[in-house]
Amino acid sequence: MPDLRVNYAGLQLKHPIMAAAAGITATVERMRRAEEAGASAICVKSLFENPIPRQGDPSPHMRIIRHGQGPRAFTLYSYEQAAHMDEYAYADLIRRAKESLGIPVIANIDCASPEAWSRYATMVEEAGADAVEVKSCPHGEHLMTGDELAAAVETVKALVAIPVIAKMPSQLTNPYLAALELQRRGADGLVMFNRLVGLDIDVDAHAPVMHGSFAGHGGPYTVPYRLRWIAQAFPELDIPICGTGGVSTGEDVAKYILAGATCVQLATAAIVEGYEAFGRIRDAFAQWMERHEHASVDDVRGIIAHRVLGIGEVSRHQTVRAEIAPDRCTSCDLCRRVCIYDGVAYRGDHGESNYQVNENCVGCGLCRDLCPAGAIAMRALDAE
Ligand SMILES: Cc1cc2nc3c(=O)[nH]c(=O)nc-3n(C[C@H](O)[C@H](O)[C@H](O)COP(=O)(O)O)c2cc1C
């Protein structure tokens, strides 16, 4: 049995899969459900300084936008910003969560003024939070810059002894530099990244969908974006990374860990599937570890980060060429139509092999992936 334990900014986790701050962690009862289902830590729904989102959520405030077929082809579009309470009730929530749960409880605060950053951070520490996430809502009134987030981290870090974790926005110009700066300014860990902020439009009503404004969006399709920055930042950081965004399978967790994350947070999978998602994903990740004979998560972390080639290291020689299997080709013509290199020719009535790849093929790989009949393979040029 592989050792799934990880140390995240001083917090000992049984395995890397935590519950992210969202409605699923907004009450002690829900936090307990997440713990029972297998989450290794709880990030509590955000405490906002802004009193407007504290009042409640619009209805409806969640919408599934489909991008085609399949369990991963969707966006959870949502507008659920803050815990519906003030700072005193939030501190009490943290206190009760600590009494009731056996796993680490991480508070999450979202402020605009230095006064509130200081006061709220102190309050959640006194209430017993094991750590505090510092962040700004991606669809709030003001989306923080990396510098503003770093200033908030510095303010909070000067006051509390618990780990201060910066939850980074997705939409930064250079998340790599922002990550280094957050470390320099005292962050004990980084969450990479919060959700994207988006807008969806009802083209018949000529209006924003749902509640009439911007909303958070995300889903499994966002994983590669996050991996790209985690893999670049990991080798330069001394502090741990918590990957977040789109985790819905054991393989997603494996990708985050391979890129350099210590742990992951998830919300959407538990929202659309139920809290059981935590146990299912943990078990699937454990099976991946076992299948590859990895003894511990620490053995695997960041392996890929060191294998990502730099711009000057990527080989730009052609190594493969497409090849069409005549017995599988259905003559649908798609490969010829999509080839911008004129690498596929229609040869008239040649029986089974109407289509043939020619010397213009540069081996881009697109026709293989688009061929509905699976009739195209990439053949190594050396083998010719
Ligand atoms: C419905 C919903 C509510 C969320 N609320 C918060 C929040 O209050 N504070 C916060 O920092 N992040 C919030 N998030 C973002 C999550 O904490 C997390 O970063 C992200 O959703 C992880 O990606 P995933 O949902 O694809 O697993 C919310 C996400 C969702 C889907």
In this structure, are residues 346 and 324 in contact, taking their beta carbons and an 8 Å threshold?
no
CA of 135 to the centre of ligand 1 (A): 11
320-383 classified as CATH 1.20.140.10 = no
62 CA: nearest ligand 1 atom: 1
Farthest CA pair distance, the chain:
80
82 CA: nearest ligand 1 atom: 8
Q: Which of 25-29, 138-142, 205-209, 330-334 has the lowest mean pLDDT?
A: 138-142
User: Average of pLDDT values for 260-276?
Assistant: 98
CA of 181 to the centre of ligand 1 (A): 23
Q: Is the dihedral of CA 188, 193, 195, 198 positive or negative?
A: positive
| Cβ contacts of 97 within 8 Å, gap of 6 or more | 28, 31, 42, 44, 105
Q: 266 CB under 6 A from ligand 1?
A: yes
In this structure, are residues 355 and 345 in contact, taking their beta carbons and an 8 Å threshold?
yes
How is the chain split into domains, by residue range? 6-306, 320-383
129-140: pLDDT as tens digits: 999 999 988 777
In this structure, are residues 322 and 344 in contact, taking their beta carbons and an 8 Å threshold?
yes
Helix, strand, or coil here: 82? coil
In this structure, are residues 267 and 24 in contact, taking their beta carbons and an 8 Å threshold?
yes
Q: 188 CB under 6 A from ligand 1?
A: no
270 CA: nearest ligand 1 atom: 27
User: Average of pLDDT values for 342-348?
Assistant: 91
Q: 166 CB under 6 A from ligand 1?
A: no
In this structure, are residues 266 and 41 in contact, taking their beta carbons and an 8 Å threshold?
no
CA of 21 to the centre of ligand 1 (A): 5
Considering only residues 51 and 141, tell me which one the structure prediction assigns the higher pLDDT. 51
Q: 218 CB under 6 A from ligand 1?
A: yes
Domain 6-306 CATH superfamily: Aldolase class I (3.20.20.70)
Pocket test for ligand 1, best of 27, 167, 195 (most atoms within 8 A of CB): 195
Q: 24 CB under 6 A from ligand 1?
A: no
Q: 167 CB under 6 A from ligand 1?
A: yes
Q: Does the pLDDT value for residue 284 go beyond 70?
A: yes
Confidence category of residue 382, pLDDT binned at 50, 70, 90: confident
Confidence category of residue 46, pLDDT binned at 50, 70, 90: very high
85-122: pLDDT as tens digits: 999 999 999 999 999 999 999 999 999 999 999 999 99
138-189: pLDDT as tens digits: 777 778 889 999 999 999 999 999 999 999 999 899 999 999 999 999 999 9
244-260: pLDDT as tens digits: 999 999 999 999 999 99
23 CA: nearest ligand 1 atom: 3
CA of 265 to the centre of ligand 1 (A): 9
> For the CA atoms of the chain, what is the radius of gyration?
24
pLDDT of residue 384: 54
CA of 103 to the centre of ligand 1 (A): 19
Percent of the chain at pLDDT > 90 equals 91
Q: 244 CB under 6 A from ligand 1?
A: yes
Instruction: Quote the CA–CA distance of 143 and 172 in Å, as a whole number.
Output: 10
What is the pTM (predicted TM-score) of this model? 0.95
218 CA: nearest ligand 1 atom: 26
pLDDT of residue 354: 87
Instruction: Quote the CA–CA distance of 379 and 37 in Å, as a whole number.
Output: 46
CA of 77 to the centre of ligand 1 (A): 11
CA of 324 to the centre of ligand 1 (A): 45
62-78: pLDDT as tens digits: 999 999 888 899 999 99
User: Average of pLDDT values for 296-306?
Assistant: 96
Q: 245 CB under 6 A from ligand 1?
A: yes
Q: Which of 37-51, 130-144, 255-269, 335-349 has the lowest mean pLDDT?
A: 130-144
Nearest CA to ligand 1 atom 19: 194
In this structure, are residues 165 and 134 in contact, taking their beta carbons and an 8 Å threshold?
yes
Nearest CA to ligand 1 atom 2: 22
Name the one residue in this structure whose structure tokens are 């700066």: 181
Confidence category of residue 350, pLDDT binned at 50, 70, 90: low
pLDDT of residue 348: 79
pLDDT of residue 351: 67
Nearest CA to ligand 1 atom 5: 22
Q: 168 CB under 6 A from ligand 1?
A: no
pLDDT of residue 352: 66
